[in-house]
Amino acid sequence: METKYLGRDEAPIKPETWKLLDSTMVEAAKTVLAGRRLLNIEGPYGLGLKAVPLEDCSEAECMLVSRFIPVHMISTGFSLGVRDLLAFEQNGLPFSASAVSDAAVRTAQMEDRIIFEGAPDTPGLLTVEGANSQKLASWSTVGKAADDVIQAMIALDEAGYHGPYALALAPARFNLLYRRYVQGIGTELEHLKTIVTDGIFKAPVLKTGGVLIATGRQYASIVIGQDMTTGYVGPSGDALEFSITESLALVVREPASICVLKEKA
């Protein structure tokens, strides 16, 4: 962890306070993050990673060109009152870390937007050129979810990606999977887990639809430069300013290993 660049050594707080801030950040981020659960993780390689190199391509005879994917840096600020910090450190009084939680959630949301929707000049899972797509029917009837997912799997299978698979869904779609079949005792989620064996995840950043992928680093992964870390910015009046910083890039090596699940117009 490259803490010297994030000001942690200059912060006038105790190690146990850093421990509280860090654990609060992690727990809050976990409630939002879906991309990291869906894809393989490479790294972290350090805050200095600014681009991920891809294979060279031939531009002309006797000429190779290097291609890169930019690494996006995210930084979200928050402040904590000095008196609140001192009350915690000196007297052990309860300390509200809601500001840390809010900043961690905002950071996690931005991370997942980069992964699913993309960033300027960098596509995401839902926007990368060459991905497959599948129109979703209404899931008002129990069993329709499995029908749609199976059709998406068939599309990937026919494209040469035979699994295993992982699935991320918008909350409105995911929550319907808890319904039970009329006959039998299982839910749709339990049924789909026998088909989508590398995980089915709720992705709060998605408003509609979802995405089914063939899993494996050879197809797509998240490359981490600096993992999500709390840092110290400096004093500001009667408060201390902190930040949550991370850097990452989505690397899609095989766009056809992705099937975007779209709502019907």
pLDDT (tens digit per residue) in 205-263: 999 999 999 999 999 999 999 999 999 999 999 999 999 999 999 999 999 999 999 99
Lookup: tokens for 128:
């990368």
Torsion of CA 169, 245, 225, 126, to 10 degrees: 20
Lookup: tokens for 117:
């929707």
Rounded alpha-carbon distances, angstroms, from residue 84 to 6, 9, 87, 214: 22, 20, 5, 48
pLDDT value for 184: 75
3-state secondary structure at position 27: helix
- Integer Cα distance of 252 and 53 in angstroms: 12
Q: What is the mean pLDDT of residues 118-129?
A: 94
Residue 3 has pLDDT above 70, yes or no: no
H-type helices in 117-265, by residue range? 144-158, 171-175, 188-193
* pLDDT one-digit tens code per residue, 49-99: 999 988 777 666 767 777 899 999 999 999 999 999 999 999 888 888 899
Question: What is the distance, to the nearest Å, from the Cα of residue 161 to the centroid of all Cα atoms in its chain?
Answer: 23
Q: Which class is domain 3-122+224-248?
A: alpha beta
pLDDT value for 257: 98
pLDDT value for 211: 98
- Integer Cα distance of 61 and 236 in angstroms: 59
Mean model confidence pLDDT for the chain: 93
Confidence category of residue 2, pLDDT binned at 50, 70, 90: low
252 in Cβ contact with 220 (< 8 Å): yes
Q: What is the mean pLDDT of residues 22-42?
A: 97
pLDDT value for 51: 94
Q: Cα 137–142–143 angle (5° rounding)? A: 70
So where are the chain's domains? 3-122+224-248, 132-219+257-263
More confident residue, 97 or 42: 42
pLDDT value for 5: 80
179 in Cβ contact with 142 (< 8 Å): yes
**Paired sense of beta strands 258-263 and 210-214, if any:** antiparallel
Let me know if 78 is exposed, middle or buried by CB neighbors in 10 A (0-12, 13-18, 19+): buried
70 in Cβ contact with 121 (< 8 Å): yes
Q: What is the mean pLDDT of residues 177-186?
A: 87
- Integer Cα distance of 61 and 81 in angstroms: 63
Of 189, 159, 137, 191, the residue nearest 258 (C-alpha): 159
Provide CATH code, domain 132-219+257-263.
3.30.2320.10
